[in-house]
């Protein structure tokens, strides 16, 4: 009986210590990301944060090719994240101009443009705006422009948010990279992030063609499931933009 009681007390003490430690991590995270909650919301977000952190820790203890970490979304469930940041409408990823024309190679087994030079910009934050399609577009165009010119310059997502509606894009409510590329082609350019900075909300188009820093000459479509087309695009044209559904 005494042994059982001792084990119960040790278990309770261990659980209390774990909860205390988790709350310390949560409060540190709150301070880092300037979070303030009501008392009721505090306990709800603490529980969600703790579950997310446990999932991250479990993953990082395993033998994986990548690690996970906390970020500004760690107090959200995936359902909340999807509702706020992912587009739920059906997506047709094809560009209007015909299929990609393949070549005979040769093709390397692997390629990592990050190791070849300064060709890939840092990860950006879209904020509370459904503009992931614009970041996908600029990331691709930034890299291909850097490969061509030797200069890696961040490009304007905000121009696409504000100006690309005539190409069936919807600002903070979603769009497609293929349609964004067509907008850039017909508008004769995309400005830099410095000249047209990101605000995370839709506003009046302020595009100035004389300040355009990157250009698109042609938009083509790789047939769905054509893996060799993807290989050729990534290895030879350097301007391949996959369109993936974010479920």
What Cα–Cα distance (Å) separates residue 203 from each residue in 40, 164, 167?
A: 35, 12, 17
8 Å CB contact between 102 and 232: yes
8 Å CB contact between 91 and 245: yes
| Series of mean pLDDT values for 10-residue runs along the chain (247 residues) | 47 53 93 94 95 95 93 93 71 52 69 85 89 92 91 96 95 90 95 97 96 89 72 62 53
Per the listing, tokens 């047939």 go with 223
Query: 171: burial class by Cβ within 10 Å (0-12, 13-18, 19+)?
Result: buried
State the helix-helix crossing angle for 2-32 and 39-61, rounded to 10 degrees. 100
By C-alpha distance, which of 226, 84, 100, 97 is closest to 167? 97
Please count the other Cβ atoms lying within 10 Å of the Cβ belonging to residue 89.
7
Q: What is the pLDDT at residue 180? A: 94
Q: What is the pLDDT at residue 51? A: 95
Sign of CA dihedral 135, 71, 79, 64: positive
DSSP 116: T
Q: What is the pLDDT at residue 98? A: 45
Q: What is the pLDDT at residue 13? A: 43
Q: Is the peptide bond before 38 cis (omega within 30 degrees of 0)?
A: no
């Amino acid at each position: 009986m005494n042994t059982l009681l001792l084990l119960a007390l040790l278990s309770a003490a261990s659980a209390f210590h774990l909860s205390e430690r988790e709350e310390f991590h949560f409060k540190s995270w709150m301070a880092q990301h300037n979070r303030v909650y009501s008392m009721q919301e505090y306990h709800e977000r603490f529980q969600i944060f703790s579950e997310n952190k446990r999932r991250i820790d479990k993953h990082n203890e395993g033998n994986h090719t990548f690690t996970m970490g906390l970020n500004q979304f760690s107090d959200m469930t995936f359902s909340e994240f999807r509702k706020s940041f992912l587009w739920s409408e059906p997506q047709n990823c094809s560009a209007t101009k015909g299929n990609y024309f393949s070549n005979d190679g040769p093709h390397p087994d692997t390629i990592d443009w990050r190791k070849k030079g300064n060709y890939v910009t840092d990860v950006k934050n879209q904020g509370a705006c459904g503009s992931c399609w614009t970041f996908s577009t600029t990331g691709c165009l930034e890299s291909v422009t850097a490969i061509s010119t030797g200069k890696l310059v961040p490009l304007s997502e905000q121009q696409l948010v504000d100006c690309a509606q005539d190409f069936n894009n919807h600002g903070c409510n979603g769009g497609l990279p293929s349609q964004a590329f067509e907008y850039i082609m017909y508008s004769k350019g995309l400005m830099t992030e410095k000249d047209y900075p990101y605000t995370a909300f839709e506003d009046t188009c302020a595009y100035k063609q004389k300040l355009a820093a990157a250009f698109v000459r042609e938009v083509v479509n790789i047939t769905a499931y054509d893996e060799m087309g993807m290989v050729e695009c990534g290895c030879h044209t350097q301007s391949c933009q996959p369109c993936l559904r974010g479920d």
